[in-house]
Structure 1
Amino acid sequence: MALVSADSRIAELLGELHQLIKQTQEERSRSEHNLVNIQKTHERMQTENKISPYYRTKLRGLYTTAKADAEAECNVLRRALDKIAEIKSLLEERRIAAKIAEIKSLLEERRIAAKIAGIYSEAEPPRKTMRRGVLMTLLQQSAMTLPLWIGKPGEKPPPLCGAVPAAGDYVAKPGDKVAARVKALEGDEQWILAEVVSYSHAANKYEVDDIDEEGKERHTLSRRRIIPLPQWKTNPETDPEALFHKDQLVLALYPQTTCFYRALIHAPPQRPQDDYSVLFEDTSYADGYSPPLNVAQRYVVACKETKKK
């Protein structure tokens, strides 16, 4: 049912997106005549080699109209981008639901085969855990589909855009992915990728699930042990201030794992689709850091700890 509902909504959004694309072309065609007039006016001014009060007044009016036309087209494009972001989010949810259904089907087939072979007991069913390869693929897809923040002229990137932290009173919603500091089996503490289950305003604590294991006991953690992940990617060309900078200390998701480790930014992204290049702390290397590794913008957050001496 969930897949059918997602398909229906995606089809609806695609229809709305198609109309917005047509509207964009209409806005562009409508403004073309005014742009031609601007060009012709400049040509006449060059021919006469003077800027008369008449031309000055005419150009002021033409440019005012051109600005209004550009803003109208920009508003339509922003609405189209919102539709695209929603479609991408639904497609990601659909892929995840399909993968989970595939895994459940495979586990059921194995359970039946094991039962036939006499090595399965209904009293002790096999633990259902997501295959690591599938999980890593889903995490990669989630990073790729993170929407890109595109602000209006002069508008600053909002909280949770790239390196911009969450507001002080921000509370992550159920289903949101976060970096969570938990106690490991050995008693040490580590930062893991987790999913928010709930938040208690009375206790000021989260309940989160380790993303790596289905059915694992939930962690109850205070807000200071939770770091929300970015909700938008940053465009380095327009909002470089919303990126972590070279040599800045961060927590980054180590490739092919679900754990965050301390790292230094080796190089920030140069284009919106680029990853960070980071140097993970690693005592097995002479300088204490690993060679550069790529980590998606979605999985790089500010480190709450001080840099090691």
Structure 2
Amino acid sequence: MTAARRAALRAALVEAGRGKPVAPYTLDEAMTFFCPQENVEGLDLPLVRDFQGWVREEHEPSTEGDRAILLLLPCQPRKPYALAPEHLAINGALLAAGFAPTGRGDWPKQLDTDVAPELRSNAPLLRDGLRIDRAVISEPFGLVPYEAIYHWHGVLSPCARYDDPGLFEHRGLGAPWREDSTSVARADGTHRWGDAERAAYVEAHNRLATEIAAALERLASHYDAIVSYTTTTLTHRSFLADHAGRRAVRLPNARTAGGVHRRLVGVNDLVPGLVEILPAPADLDALRAASGRRLPQELLSDPLLLDRLVARVDALAAA
């Protein structure tokens, strides 16, 4: 493959990524990561390191309410995250259950959306003294408090200006534009990862899990519970789960690269029991039974699972 062809492949991915942020947010080309190797490099970018350091060492949650839950949600292609369909469904279910934002939040006035203000708000949610803080599990930022989804340090947040599908092998991107690529082209034009991609995936995965664990461990004293609501097939759940948790939903616990078995490590491996991970396997079994043994593509927006999420929040509130 010629250098020009390699450059064109990546340029096409960047161009596709431009449609993901909602105005006034625009894609920062320096914050695009389309393969595992780029994810590893991205973790060392000054902007990413500065943001992670802020979350790990400086961010302080609200003090409103008598009790608090931290709800971890997956990152989304559409940004800012609150405007993405899954987040709208999740936040809508919480609002329907009686929670309400404690304020407007800080979404920019020029935000190009007709989403209702209460769904746009990135302020904490409150009901009868129970506060829900929301945060996003993100590649490459790690943990993104909802307070930082619109602005950070007085400017439009970098967490709404990136594109990172590079750790999702099933999308078939490979890394054919890179000199260090070992990905293999398939007949349909997609690519299968090779040793370099698998090794970089493990490095990026474990570095992000370690970063998220450090942030959550510091913040844990502010919360009665830390609960995640993430799909079963993507990295967000893998970053959080321990060995048994990944095995329960058939996520891999290791990858082999260069003949070496490389173990994946999650938050609950590093700090056992820190995060309660939903949907639980029993919830998934119930949904399979209700849907003819097949899980829906838009898993986290499913009414049954949203009901189970709200029920778990209610149980924590009553405990």
TM-score, normalising length: structure 2: 0.26
TM-score, normalising length: structure 1: 0.27
Determine which structure has greater relative contact order: mean sequence separation of CA pairs < 8 Å that are 6+ residues apart, divided by chain length.
Answer: 2
Which one has the largest radius of gyration? 1
